[in-house]
Structure 1
Amino acid sequence: MKNLIILFCAAFFLSGWASAQDIGSPDMKNIKGLYPGKTYSPYAKRNFPNNVYWGETHLHTGVSLDAGLFGNVLGHEDAYRLCKGEEITSSTGLSVKLGRPLDWVVITDHSDLMGLAVGIQEGAPNVVAEPLGKKWHEAFERGGADAGEAAFELIQNFAQGTLPKAMLNDYSPGSKVYTSLWEDIIRTADKYNEPGKFTALIGYEWTSVPKGFNLHRNVILRDDKTRAGQVVPMVTLPPLGSQDPLDLYEWLEMYEEKTGGQALALSHNGNLSNGWMFPVDKTYAGGVVDKNYVEQRAKWEPLYEVTQIKGDGETHPFLSPDDEFADYETWDVGNLDISELKKTEMLAGEYAREALKNGLMLESKFGTNPYKFGMVGATDSHTSLSTAEEDNFFGKSVSVEPSKHRVEHPFIKSELGEISGDMIVASGYQGVWATENTREAIFDAMERKETYATTGPRIPVRFFGGWDFVDDDLRSRSPAFVGYDKGVPMGGDLRKSKGSEAPNFMVYALRDPVGANLDRIQIIKGWEDANGKLHERVYDVAVSDGRKINKEGRCKKAVGNTVDLESASWTNTIGASELMAVWRDPDFNPNEKAFYYARVIEIPTPRWLVYDKVRMGAHIPEGAELIGQERAYTSPIWYNPSE
């Protein structure tokens, strides 16, 4: 009966969060302090973001060259229908539906040769007119190994710049085919965009991958087809394109000046960039990290994709040896095509936490922090299916949609190494705190970095920084009011101190209503000392099950494990349905720049391949990870003594 009551209370709190994130009535005597100048009703006269909306910024359809070549026959309409909660049929003929609809999505097909794969699939006249195009179309029709070989041959021709010129011209910006396809993409986005109900943001992926170093950026527009139709996406192939992000920033500038609209870019997760995603000295193209570079990157890239199908990008155990949760879904074999193996000195240029620290250093050098980014999660699915749930995971590409043998299919394999199929990650989603579910509100929340990443679960998380939060601010059950009143939300800069010796932070999280309980909440701090040396530290600030946090700010006792591998299940008999804390930095130095972000960790649950074994009898490779602790990463809050 006790557990039933707890679950009822948690469900009530969470259901309120879906439509109005603060519930409950504060003590009458505290109303004046909690709602200065406001009405009695806690839901009236709000001027802060009170809803969390779930979506992702990285989804591919069959329009993308690689997705289409490997068998994706679904387009934008299919992707939108699934995100909105409809049941559709996957490219392999499987019925698929999300456990819960998404609130918004950005479909980001690769801009280079967009639509060529569809032309090959359908045998478009301009494709089969070329001998190679006819060969590839016929191979796709036969399917199986022939289609795979054709796809590999086409990608080789693309990489080596040996595609037939006529075919290249037909699927590049300025061509009739490309222009028509872009018009169809933006028209379809407007068709499925329903302000207040579902948001379809217009975007694309700029696919810079020199020498296999993954330096992709996703571009997101705030606008509808009226403005988006005045341009076509930027590509990387010469002579029209470039692989230098500085040229992408020029495109973004051009877009805003030409259309009067707004745009931003976000960096793809960097763990396949072999150290080039977050440079501190030289860029991959022989350029330098100078004042112009840091200013342009800070202006145009306010977000970073910290987790997705191709591994987690928060930190690495080599970079964070004192963090026992650092080795999570780690990909550190090599670059995107494993043409170059990973070296430990590359890792510092690939992970979010290290980049946040290096941003402090670059700010001291140039006056601007280029890595002052918010956190987002996405799938990077190439199936048109935005599935990040472990028990409903349709993989990276059509070749690894659910089947008995998909786990045996490597993500990439070369003479130097392999990223095995069991390493694919069922991740992630993005929570956005916004005033309403519209393009404008979602985009604006991203731009101010009031957004956070999860590895899939829909964990509601709030994180505020200030100087005078107290425990009673949490007791009211409506802490967002005081959070905005006394401090700043995730993504913000701490206001000037009013005399307090150290800043404090208010954080609270609720478990996903259909997910696992919470193990703990941590706050990760990074700072630069007076000698220019960079540091980091992890603090446990709230833990479940009565465990203790020691004087060093850590709880070394694990939460336990209730996973049943035979049934692919777990029980919420450990952990907590909600955790919260007000925490003051015990090691604060007012002269040192710093950042803080929260990490919320669930109790252990089964990974997707356990469901494959139970449902389909799949063989699990020896040594494969079967259990994980999913998590959420908030955007940081920064402190700068000079501001």
Structure 2
Amino acid sequence: MLIKDQPLKEAGYSPYAGKNYPVQVLWGDTHLHTKLSLDARAFGVTLGPAEAYKLARGEEIKSSHGERIKLSRPLDWLVVADHSDALGAMDEVVKGNKELLKDPTVKDWYDRLQAGGESALMATMEIIETFAGITGETTPAVLTDPKFVMSVWQRYLKTAEQYNEPGRFSAIIGYEWTSTDGGNNLHRNVIYRNGSEQAKQMLPFTAAESFNPEDLWQWMANYEEKSGGQVLALAHNGNVSNGIMFPEINPETGKPLTKDYAKTRSRWEPIYETTQIKGDGESHPKLSPNDEFAGYDTLWDIGNLGPVLKQDDMLQYEYAREALKNGLKLESQLGTNPFKFGMVGSTDSHTGMATAEEDNFFGKHSGKEPHPGRWDQIVGNFGEVKYYGWEQVSSGYAAVWATENTREAIWDAMKRKEVYATTGSRITLRFFGGWDFTDSDAELRDPGLIGYSKGVPMGGDLSSAAKNQSPSFLMVAMKDPLSGNLDRMQVVKGWLDKDGKTHEKVYDVAWGDADTRKPGKDNKLPPVGNTVNVEQASWTNTIGDAELITVWKDPDFDRQQKAFYYARVIEIPTPRWTAYDAKRFGDKMDDKVPMITQERAYSSPIWYTP
């Protein structure tokens, strides 16, 4: 989206008159589960969509275990994205629905869930593995009856309309398609632009119908044709996909990706979930060994959601940066970049509560709501692959630059990729690319005004550089008022050379304490320092800066090479949620448990094409 300013003499006195660019960042979560999700209900959540919307809007509610909870600040929008498979069925099973309990498998699950403890945990894992196709057992037909599912879907839609208040809070309709063939996570969230009149015309697509993403994309095309509405899909962070989230070989056919695959995926999947509770998916130390900040809480990198352990050669097909690089390579071969995505964060919480703040973290599912010892308890048990409480990440949120707080405007921002991810902190981030930004542009107090008039925002495209011309980037970051100061602002660049090989480089472009903190002879910026008192779960904002703003020009630009650029903003060290738990509950945690974190934000990329 490129918006050119009118000359001031035509615009009149007000420099904002006639402008239609986004001036506000709206915070939300694209990925929240309630009791309508089979696994969430089996784990014990009792909160439904209504409670989820109430909490997100800023109201105080009670958690499934009776704990009073309120967000530090309301969210602006929320997608309740419950699993489409057996939507709402497990809630009826737990209630003892007599018709459902006639099925012996369902009755066995019910009895074990009622028993509680280890029996309930193992029943829950069996339920998840059955729906994921891991056990080889058929999903009980009573749980997927279309008439029953439609009744649940219509109730969900009615609740979304009840809590949708354009201009104040957007209850965005969506669901999760849960492809987990053999435990490999290829989940997507389907997000609707429109309201219930369109959404009610077709049932959500399920993994029981197909594990193949290409079939989901066909469902989306059919939906749009039938309803007149619009949808997009958001792929989950790929760190438990075991190397098939961003493939070069189609896992369905065993053959290289085709032009049609690239075009179709690019059409339906404009954004990617870069960070969430199961771990951060931006980069990995084994893929980016020269990046000192690679691998933020990549603690779920040991396997998939089944018994299969991770191999190192899988990693390149799971993380965002490597996918963006491979996308450049595939574009040269196929004519379309299948991995040209914007980046968002979200929670994937199964508690009905969108909590991503370190001091207000309610865990992956209701069994991991705050209580003594949760750090050392198993979150998920998949045979050899086990994930423990301390390995949960208090992440993340999705930020969108939208013209107004409505379903349509927020969806449009996602579609054009003018969005960014954070690990839970509400850092404000602007990122523009162009050919004419100058240092003086960084002195203006309205970066949007100059950014849209001279360039493109995050998610945009640059092309056709003139000889001896390099792209310049206007970048602004402001701290979350309730979190740490800013350590540094970086540009991550990836490019494709003339031999078809991909490369990356991370540039420090602005940093806190710049008067006293200088890069060394190796051009490496010294650490910002650390004021965290782990025992007290506190820190001081005596280091770093509250705001960073700069114009940066690529010193290594080659106008013949495809490239992408995105901004990464990193906070000073602050206490991790484990430190807050240790203080509150007196827990003594193992030395392996991280107690300090550095929250961060990732912009969507800007791409350059010769």
TMscore range, shorter length: over 0.9
CA shift, 1:566, in A, is 1.4
Describe how 1:120-519 pairs up with structure 2 within 5 A. 120-158=93-131, 159=133, 160=135, 162-163=137-138, 168-172=140-144, 175-237=146-208, 241-283=209-251, 286=254, 288-331=256-299, 333-497=301-465, 501-519=469-487
- Asked whether 1:92 is paired with 2:65, we answer yes
Residue in 2 that maps onto 1:605:
574
- Deviation of the 1:416 alpha carbon: 2.9
Structure 1 CA distance, aligned partners of 2:118 and 2:564? 50
Change (3 A) 1:421 1:367: same
| Structure 2 contact 308–385 (Cα < 8 Å) conserved | no
The answer on whether the counterparts of 1:388 and 1:455 sit within 8 Å (CA) in structure 2 is yes
Deviations 1:490-529 (CA, angstroms, capped at 9, x unpaired): 0000154466611110101000011110000000000001
> 2: distance between equivalents of 1:500 and 1:401?
57
- Higher mean C-alpha deviation, range 534-543 or range 287-296: 287-296
Q: State the AA in 2 paired with 1:162.
A: E
**Distance apart, 1:403 and its partner CA:** 0.3
Unaligned runs of 5+ in 1: 1-31
Among 98, 112, 121, which residue is 2:85 paired with?
Answer: 112
Which segment is superposed worse, 443-452 or 185-194? 185-194
Residues 280 and 295, structure 2, Cα contact 8 Å, conserved in 1: no
Aligned residues: 602
* 1:568 equivalent in alignment to 2:548: no
Q: Secondary structure at the match of 1:211?
A: helix
AA matched with 1:548: K
What is the deviation of 1:169?
A: 3.0
Partner of 2:556: 587
Q: CA deviation at 1:128?
A: 2.2
**Does 2:585 match 1:616?**
yes
Distance 1:484 1:498 in 2: 20
Moved more, 343-352 or 286-295: 286-295
Of 587, 596, 601, the residue aligned with 1:627 is: 596
> Match of 2:536, as an amino acid?
S
Which residue does the alignment assign to 1:5?
Answer: none
Provide the rounded CA distance (Å) in 2 between the counterparts of 1:138 and 1:412.
Answer: 20
Report the residue type matching 2:37 in the other structure: S
CA contact (8 A) 1:374 1:636 kept: yes
- Gap change, CA 1:503 and 1:550, over 3 Å in 2: farther
Q: TM-score, normalised by structure 2?
A: 0.95
Distance 1:145 1:564 in 2: 36
Aligned to 1:79, the other structure's residue is in SS state helix
TM-score (norm 1): 0.91
Counterpart in the other structure of 1:16: none
- SS class of match (2:531): coil
The question of whether the paired residues in 2 share the 8 Å contact of 1:488 and 1:495 is answered with no
Q: Which moved more, 1:323-332 or 1:309-318?
A: 323-332
Distance 1:351 1:474, change over 3 A: same
- Please give the per-residue CA displacement for 1:574-606, whole angstroms capped at 9, x wherever unaligned: 000000110100000000000000000000011
1:57 corresponds in structure 2 to: 30
| Structure-2 residue corresponding to 1:82 | 55
Corresponding residue SS for 2:426: coil
Q: Secondary structure at the match of 1:44?
A: coil
Q: Secondary structure at the match of 1:346?
A: helix
Q: Measure, in 1, the Cα distance between the counterparts of 2:126 and 2:419.
A: 40
Query: Aligned letter for 1:47?
Result: N
The structural deviation recorded for 1:298 is: 0.5
Q: Is the 8 A contact 2:184 2:306 kept in 1?
A: no
SS of aligned partner of 1:177: helix
**Match for residue 68 of structure 1 among 31, 41, 61:** 41
Give the deviation of 1:259 after TM superposition: 0.8
Identity %: 53
Check conservation: 1:527, 1:534, Cα contact below 8 A.
yes
For residue 331 of structure 1, report the CA deviation from its aligned partner: 3.0
Distance 1:351 1:137 in 2: 38
Contact 1:540 1:549 in 2 (8 A): no
For structure 1, which segment, 94-103 or 418-427, has the greater mean C-alpha deviation from structure 2 after superposition? 418-427
Tell me what 1:23 maps to. none
CA 453–70 in structure 1, closer or farther in 2 if over 3 Å, else same: same
Q: Which residue of 2 aligns with 1:548?
A: 518
Shift of 1:131: 3.4
Query: Once the 2 structures are TM-superposed, how far is the Cα of residue 550 of structure 1 from its aligned partner?
Result: 5.9
Q: Which amino acid aligns with 1:582?
A: V
